[in-house]
Amino acid sequence: MPITDLLERNSKLYGDEIALIEVNPEIEEPQRVTWKEYELIQPTSSAPYRRTITWSVFDEKANRCANLLISKGIRKGQKAAILMMNCLDWLPIYFGILKAGAIAVPLNFRYTADEIEYCVKLADVDVLFFGPEFIGRVESIAEDLGRERLLMFVGDSCPYFAEDYHLSASNCSSTAPKVLIEDDDFAAIYYSSGTTGLPKAILHKHTALMQSAHMEAMHHATTRSDVFLCIPPLYHTGAKMHWFGSLYTGSRAVLLRGNKPKAVFDAISREGCTIVWLLVPWAQDILAALDSGEIHIEDYNLKQWRLMHMGAQPIPPSLIRHWMEYFPDHQYDTNYGLSESTGPGCVHLGMENVGKVGAIGIPGYGWQCKIVDENGNTVPQGEVGELCVKGPGVMIEYYKDPAATAEVLHDGWLFTGDMARQDEEGFYYLVDRKKDVIITGGENLYPVQIESYLAAHPKIHDVAVIGTPDKRLGEIATAIIQLKSGETCTEEEINSFCLDLPRYKRPRKIIFGDVPRNATGKIEKPKLRELYAGARLVEQESNS
C-alpha cells in the first residue's frame, strides 16, 4: 500500500493521540522548570516553545494541503518542493503533496539561492513551499521561478512575491481527495548530498517509502509506546525514514529544533523519548559536555531511553566505547544507507550485535549485499572492494540523468561508491569512499581507518584525513584535527600517538583546524581539499 495509507490508518485508530511534538529551545519558556515539574506548556504565542498535533489533525492538514494543490491545477505526477526548517507544518505538507498524487521534492535548507534554483529546475518542480528563513534567498530568484511555478509561503507575514499557504489551505476541505495512489506510483525526489559535485535528483516510488517504514520498525523493535527524538533535518532521507518507524507503529515523535547537548537531554527527559538517532558530531558534543561537567546525567530523567543509534558516516568504535561508559544499558545500532537506497538500513549492525561495533553490519530487512572489484566481480571474503546493495528501496533513477544512472545501477544492484570488506562472520566494514582513497607511493590508504584510529586520542574532538599532493609519492595522508575545547596539542604528540599504526598509514602532515560537516554529519572533504590540497604546508619528516 502507499505510504499515505499509514497516516489515514493512524488518524482513524489513534486520532486523539499526539503524533508530533515540536520543541524549539531557542524560544524562552514562560516559566523555566525542571523535568520533575514539567507539564505540557501551551503558551499563547505564534511560535511557542512546545507545540503538538494529533494524528487526526495531522491527517486533516495533509488533506487541506492536497486539496489546495489540486485546486491550483496540480495533477498526479507533478512535483512540489519543500524548503523549510523542521516544524509541525513540514510533514503534513509532505503528505499533502503525496495525497494529491504529486511527487514531493525536499530541499536542503543550506542551499544557496543558485542551488535552490538549480534543484527546482532539475526536478521540474511546479510548486515551492518555503519558510520564513528562506525569504531572502527565494526573493532573489522569485522573478525567474515564479513565471512558471507557484510559490507558497509557510509562516506569518507572507512576502509580496508569494501566496500565503496557511490562508489558502484554511479554505480547503479537510477530507481526503479522491486521487488513486498505487504502490508503483512515483512518490519523492531526494537530492544527493553533493559532497562530490552538484547534487543529483534521486527518484523513488511509494513501494520504497513503505519498505523503509516497515524496515525501520523491524530493525529497532519500535512499538506504540516508543517516543522517537528527531533532530536531523527532515529534508534528508535519514531523518525521514527513521521517523517512518513512528508512522508505521502509530507512535509519537519529537521534532527538536536544535542539537545542543542540554537541549537534547531536556527533550529526552521531558518528553519521555525512548529512541534517539544521533550524528557523530552531536554524540561527540554530548560526551564532551558530560566529560567537562557541563551537564550531569542525574539532572535528567533518562531511564526510559533504551536505544541510541547512529549513521550517515563511519562511526569511530572509540566513540561508542566512550558512550557505553556513561550509558551501559543502552541498546545501540549502526545504520548504513544512501539516499539512493531510500536512506538508512540497507545495511545495519543490529541491536543484538553491539559486540561488533566498528562494522556497519549485515544486510537489512529485505536487502542483499556483495563486494566487487573494478570489473564487477565478487571479491573473496576479507578483501576490499566496492559495496553493492540490492533490495526494494533501490532508486528508480537519477532523474533526467541516464548516464549517471547507468554508472551505478547494474541488474538491480546499486553500486554505492563505498569501499568495504566482509569478515568471516558475514559482517561488513566500511573502509572508505571510493573517491576518497589516497594512493601514496603505490599503496592504497583508506582515510576512514586513520580517522577512526586518531578519534581515540583523548584531546581530539573531530578529525578528517585527505590526500594532499607530494612530488615523490604522488599523494600523502594529511590529518586535519579539531581539538576539544580548551585543549592544546602538538604535532609531536600526534606523531607519537600514531606509532602503533603501520608506517605507511601514519599521516605525513598534521593541520590543527576545524573539520567542516554538512547538515547530515558528513565531513565536507571537497571543502578541505580546496583549502589544503594545494596549500603550502610544512611537511613533517618521514619515518620511512
Provide the pLDDT for residue 344: 84
Residue 415's Cβ-count burial label (10 Å; 0-12, 13-18, 19+) is middle
User: Looking at residue 528, what is its pLDDT?
Assistant: 82
Helices 280-292 and 317-326, axial angle in degrees (round to 10): 40
Q: Strand, helix or coil at 66?
A: helix
The yes-or-no verdict on residue 99 having pLDDT over 70 is: yes
Range with lowest mean pLDDT among 56-65, 364-373, 409-418, 428-437: 428-437
Other C-beta atoms within 10 Å of 136: how many?
10
Q: Is the dihedral of CA 455, 457, 460, 463 positive or negative?
A: negative
Is-contact 337 428, C-beta < 8 A?
no
187 pLDDT above the threshold of 80: yes
Percentage of the chain lying above the pLDDT 70 cut? 90
User: For 112-126, 218-232, 305-319, 401-415, which range has the lowest pLDDT when averaged over its residues?
Assistant: 305-319
**Percentage above 90 pLDDT, the chain:** 60
| Strand residue runs (E) in 29-147 | 50-54, 79-83, 103-106, 125-130
**Pick from 34-48, 139-153, 410-424: least confident:** 34-48
What's this model's pTM, rounded to 2 decimal places?
A: 0.82
Q: Which three cell numbers stand for residue 512?
A: 590543527
Domains delineated in the chain: 4-299 (3.40.50.12780), 307-433 (2.30.38.10), 437-532 (3.30.300.30)
Question: With 0-12 CB in 10 A as exposed, 13-18 as middle and 19+ as buried, what is 163?
Answer: middle
Specify the pLDDT at position 365.
93
Report the alpha-carbon distance of residue 125 to residue 113 in Å, rounded: 15
| Average pLDDT, integer, range 379-407 | 94
Buried-state track 516-529, b at ≥16 Cβ within 10 A, e below 16: bbbbbbbbbbbebb
pLDDT 10s digits, 499-539? 888 777 888 889 998 888 866 667 777 788 778 875 333 33
